[in-house]
Amino acid sequence: MSPDDLSEKGLGVVPSSQARFTSVDDPDKDPHVNGDYFRKHPTWHVEYSARKAEHVFRFLQSKNLHPKNIGEVGCGAGEILKQLQNKLEPDVRFWGWDVAPPAIEMAKTRENSMLQFALADFGAIETPELDMLLALEVVDHVEHCLGFLRMLKSRAALKLFSFSLDISVQSALRAGAFLQRRNVHNHLHHFNKETAISALEYTGFKVLDWRLVPSIPGASKLASLAKPIRSPLFALAPEFTVRLLGGYSLFVLAE
């Protein structure tokens, strides 16, 4: 599909390495665009997608939400939307956008008549009218994250975010913890629950609900060792446990 075809369908335009992105100053240095991230993570985390889709599905169920048009910014390899499509009604339409050529190449293999993907600078394109926009563990990767959040606000009636909660007592005490998250996972920004919600409110969102969910495994050896302690403690004091030991992500529903 050509860039003109993408534009005609309202799905976006292929980013040029010579263009300045709306949320990235130098695309040639961005690891998602230049291929560095793909070299570090050749599966693009597809193995965790079913679990993330389940978190989204449970959130929708708990709020009795039935969106008919769902988009995902920073969709990666597209497996989260594919898994979500398997859980929702067959008349739901899905769109995914990402700036990473290797990710969209993988996502294209998952397309069908109700699920489409495009290589696109989300801030520079027109998108279909969406009932819900997903931004799952994307904000921490975006260079100009506050401007990025403001741009997302008008793109859908409802937005569902997830944030990796990198900041905890154990991560603050562990030398190199934040650099590890930057070097391995390209986290340019680090959040805890309070700063994530504050960033959304600062950029004009109204937070409707939030919840804490276990993070994907393998963050660190110390995090793995803490798991037998973390789970039972979380059952007793969830927010205290997350502040102390980390190991959780934050899902936030906003409008």
3-state secondary structure of 82: helix
Domain ranges of the chain: 3-166+188-215+249-254
At 212, which amino acid appears? L
Closest CA to 23 of 133, 124, 164: 124
State phi, psi for 115 to the nearest 5 degrees.
-140, 115
pTM (2 d.p.): 0.87
- Look up residue 255 and give its two tokens: 């409008």
Among 120, 105, 26, 141, CA closest to 72: 120
Q: What is the pLDDT of residues 116-174, one digit of tens each?
A: 999 999 999 999 999 999 999 999 999 999 999 999 999 999 999 999 999 999 899 88
Predicted pLDDT at 83: 98
Checking if the pLDDT of 210 tops 50, the result is yes
Tell me which architecture the domain covering 3-166+188-215+249-254 has in CATH: 3-Layer(aba) Sandwich (3.40)
pLDDT at position 222, please? 60
Residue 103 and residue 101: Cα distance in Å, rounded? 5
Question: How far, in whole angstroms, is CA 32 from its chain's centroid?
Answer: 13
In this predicted model, what pLDDT tens digit does every residue of 187-207 receive, in sequence order? Answer: 999 999 999 999 999 999 999
Query: Are the C-beta atoms of residues 103 and 77 closer than 8 Å to each other?
Result: yes
pLDDT score for 13: 45
Residue positions counted in the chain: 255
Q: Which of 84, 30, 91 is nearest to 55 (CA)?
A: 84
pLDDT tens-digit series, residues 69-101: 999 999 999 999 999 999 999 999 999 999 999
